[in-house]
A and B are shown apart, each in its own frame.
Chain A
Amino acid sequence: MLTLDKLHICQGDFHLRADLTVPRGARCAIMGPSGGGKSTLLAAIAGFLPPVSGRILWDGQDITAQPPGERPLSILFQDQNLFPHLSVAQNLAIGLSPQLRLNADQQARIDQALDRTGLQGLARRKPGALSGGQQSRVALARALLRARPLLLLDEPFAALGPALKRDMLDLVDAIASEQGATVLMVTHDPEDARAFADLTLLVAEGRAHPPQPTGPLLDNPPPALRVYLGG
């Protein structure tokens, strides 16, 4: 369970407050107007933005002071999720051991992750030689390998076409189910939220609101969300 306990984040003169919990194993969409603080919220959870006050807890344990790499989570950014000068296999290995020293067991896990994400035979390629969809799969494969209980998606599939994006979300869903992981996903698309997320968390007007069931929330949106969705 992810708990944001009276969290106050400040970036310049932008303020965001959050006091909420996301249950373990949930698929939670994060929606709200542009510039509302969706990415800021993820950056704070991931540890890139120290909060002014409040705490971030995972299963009751305070992780507010932990450095990003040690938190029980993986994050996929909008872009730059791969090191372009390293091969696909190295990009995966770096998720297991930053020193790139792997034992036979870890090597086998990398091969499994490549199979699982449909990247067989691409291990030695550089990211530049992959399609956009394949690049997303490599990033997902690394998250799969790291097997952290919380997965944060900051619109990593925004540049993909609708069909490809749906494929990726299915893959995320399958991987998260296997691992019992909790997923927080920023999205602009209500259809994505309906298809993927049982819960939706609205970020608007300086507040991150507690997550609510996606269907009812979108069917009957509060004013801030209604303006954003239009119509």
Chain B
Amino acid sequence: MARRLREISWPAPLAALLVAALVLGTLGAVAIRAGGFGVLRPTDLSALWFTIWQAAVSAAVSCLLAVPVARALARRRFRGRGLLISLLGAPFILPTIVAVMGLLTVFGRRGMVNAGLEGMGLPGLTIYGAHGVILAHVFFNLPLATRMILHGWQGIPAERFRLAAALGFGPGDIRRHLEIPMLRAILPGAFLAIFLVCLTSFAVALTLGGGPRATTVELAIYQAFRFDFDLARAASLGLVQVALCLGALAITARVTLPSSFGAGLDRPLPMQAPGRAAVVHDIIAITTATAFLLVPIGTVLARGLPGIGALPPSLWAATGTSVALALGSTALTLALALPLALAATRATWAEAAGMLPLTASSLVIGTGLFVILRPVVNPTALALPVTLVVNAAMSLPFALRMILPEARVLAADYDRLATSLGLAGLARLRYLTLPRLARPLGFSAGLSAAFSMGDLGVITLFAGGDQKTLPLALFQLMGAYRMDQAAAAAAVLMALTFALFWAFDRIGQHADPR
């Protein structure tokens, strides 16, 4: 045992210790500061109920709408199909606030949908409230669900379809014997994955929700904190959020979540596309989904691009801050994730430490840090460092999940050889670990940079005065109804987010010597 422990070098225990101190320390601070559940108001209970309800509805709607889109993508081949499937991965890194901005330009009070309704003499609709929150969640998660279900469709072996054709199956028989069993296997996992994401929804609720009937727990923490400055209540709500996360994690432990990334999206056509009615269905499914995803983004770009030159200097300062934060947070994520991933091939505690941030949300950690820091310094002065650390912690589980499988392969294939040659320390890192893990490292760096760049979470708790990130500045512009400037800022934010992701991912691919 002593020998095994010695094989794990010091960075991994240090990383585990830092993560544990951050997550458990802030949870402890929140628990101590919480005034018990007695301080919760009736509205907080409805926030809890709304959080669960909207997450369930968002997940169900996303999954239901994704089925026809995935089926169409699975059985059709057309020009731009590969590009469309890649684009379906884009909402994963799209800043929430940009998407909200896009949805506002389409479905908002002065958006094109309402303009159309008005033209037809019909009453307008409002995007604010519960259905707006759900609409935004579907916007983000429909692509995720589509990719997961598409994977399922393409996972049905071609031989199965050949057999079905040999037995003279009609479309109904294929559905019953091949497609429905596949969906039954895939959909629960897809539903759960989306449900989890929506449980900690903050930025969407902040911008489109609010009020007694569309407040999530995360938003309630923010309101208790910012508006009432009731730390005891914010902390109690934090405990509620942690209980939600733990409950959800307990359920996930029993269900395998399908992957939404990965190769294998372009295998030869596994099935014969059936008749003409199906063609019409498929065309409708693909065009509607594409329009739903692309029109809001396209509108923001069209409206924002011309105004970029006229953006005020303060906005460019916020842009610089955001890029610096994203780079710092990415560096920290990798500095934690790499040693933990390498250690996790030998010790389970390392993986557990890396997954620890999943038990808390960004606002819970933020509240805890505020409670801890306030007696010592003015928390507002630390808004940026706190944001950097919290963003890195929230990206860590994703990065670890990307790196760990490759780290396992690396350990299985080359640990013995490297050890027998005495390859250790920095030389091992440089000539073995980094080259072999370049791809997942680049990809996770891209993800964490994009997450941090677009994050509108803990910064809202701490911000005051002039320390702003670009998403926060954009949020304030929207609040002030300066929509043209907001669109321009959104265009900048989106471009930088994708550029950061692309750059890191490319560096990783380029550094991979294979």
- A-side residues, CB < 8 A to B, are 46-48, 50, 67-70, 74-75, 77, 80-86, 90, 94-95, 98-100, 126
Bound-state Cα–Cα, A203 to B292, Å: 69
B267 at the interface (CB under 8 A from A): no
- Is the beta-carbon distance between B424 and A68 smaller than 8 angstroms? no
- Which B residues are CB-close (under 8 A) to A95? 421
- Is the beta-carbon distance between A86 and B431 smaller than 8 angstroms? yes
- Is the beta-carbon distance between A74 and B3 smaller than 8 angstroms? no
Bound-state Cα–Cα, A219 to B431, Å: 49
Residue of B413, B431, B513 near A94 (CB, 8 A) is B431
- Which B residues are CB-close (under 8 A) to A86? 431, 435, 513
* Cβ contacts A to B, 25 pairs, < 8 Å: A47-B419, A47-B420, A48-B416, A48-B419, A50-B3, A68-B416, A68-B420, A68-B422, A69-B419, A69-B424, A70-B422, A80-B414, A82-B417, A83-B417, A83-B432, A84-B514, A85-B435, A85-B512, A85-B513, A90-B431, A95-B421, A98-B424, A98-B428, A99-B427, A126-B513
Taking the closest CB of chain A, its distance from the CB of B33, in whole angstroms, is 49
- Is the beta-carbon distance between B414 and A69 smaller than 8 angstroms? no
User: Contacts A80-B413, A98-B427, A98-B428 known; A85 to B419 CB distance under 8 Å?
Assistant: no
- Is the beta-carbon distance between B420 and A69 smaller than 8 angstroms? yes
- Which A residues are CB-close (under 8 A) to B431? 83, 86, 90, 94, 98, 100
Taking the closest CB of chain B, its distance from the CB of A88, in whole angstroms, is 14
Bound-state Cα–Cα, A205 to B17, Å: 46
Closest partner residue, chain B, to A90 (CB atom): B431
Closest partner residue, chain B, to A50 (CB atom): B3
- Which A residues are CB-close (under 8 A) to B414? 80, 83
- Which B residues are CB-close (under 8 A) to A67? 419, 422
- Is the beta-carbon distance between B514 and A80 smaller than 8 angstroms? no
B436 at the interface (CB under 8 A from A): yes
Residue of B420, B436, B512 near A46 (CB, 8 A) is B420
Chain B 409-453 against A: per-residue CB contact (8 Å), 1 yes, 0 no? 000011011011111100110011001100000000000000000
- Is the beta-carbon distance between B424 and A80 smaller than 8 angstroms? no
Bound-state Cα–Cα, A86 to B434, Å: 12
> Which of B414, B420, B423 is most buried by chain A, counting CB atoms within 10 A of its CB?
B420
- Which B residues are CB-close (under 8 A) to A81? 417
- Is the beta-carbon distance between B514 and A85 smaller than 8 angstroms? yes
- Which A residues are CB-close (under 8 A) to B416? 48, 68, 77, 80
Interface size class of B (residues with CB under 8 A): 20 to 34
Dominant SS among interface residues on chain B: helix
- Is the beta-carbon distance between A69 and B422 smaller than 8 angstroms? yes
Closest partner residue, chain A, to B6 (CB atom): A67
Bound-state Cα–Cα, A50 to B1, Å: 10
Taking the closest CB of chain A, its distance from the CB of B509, in whole angstroms, is 14
Taking the closest CB of chain A, its distance from the CB of B438, in whole angstroms, is 9
- Is the beta-carbon distance between A77 and B3 smaller than 8 angstroms? no
> Which of B3, B422, B424, B513 is most buried by chain A, counting CB atoms within 10 A of its CB?
B422
- Which B residues are CB-close (under 8 A) to A84? 514
Bound-state Cα–Cα, A47 to B102, Å: 61
Taking the closest CB of chain A, its distance from the CB of B310, in whole angstroms, is 49
- Which B residues are CB-close (under 8 A) to A47? 419-420
Closest partner residue, chain A, to B428 (CB atom): A98
Please provide the 8 A-B residue pairs with the shortest distance between their CB atoms, ordered closest to farther: A69-B422, A85-B513, A98-B423, A98-B427, A99-B427, A85-B435, A68-B419, A68-B420
Residue of A74, A82, A90, A99 near B420 (CB, 8 A) is A74
Chain B 500-514 against A: per-residue CB contact (8 Å), 1 yes, 0 no? 000000000000111
- Which A residues are CB-close (under 8 A) to B421? 69, 94-95, 98
Contacts beyond the supplied A48-B419, A80-B413, A100-B431: 15 A-B pairs with Cβ under 8 Å: A68-B419, A68-B420, A69-B420, A69-B423, A70-B422, A80-B414, A80-B416, A80-B417, A81-B417, A83-B432, A85-B436, A86-B435, A94-B431, A98-B424, A98-B427
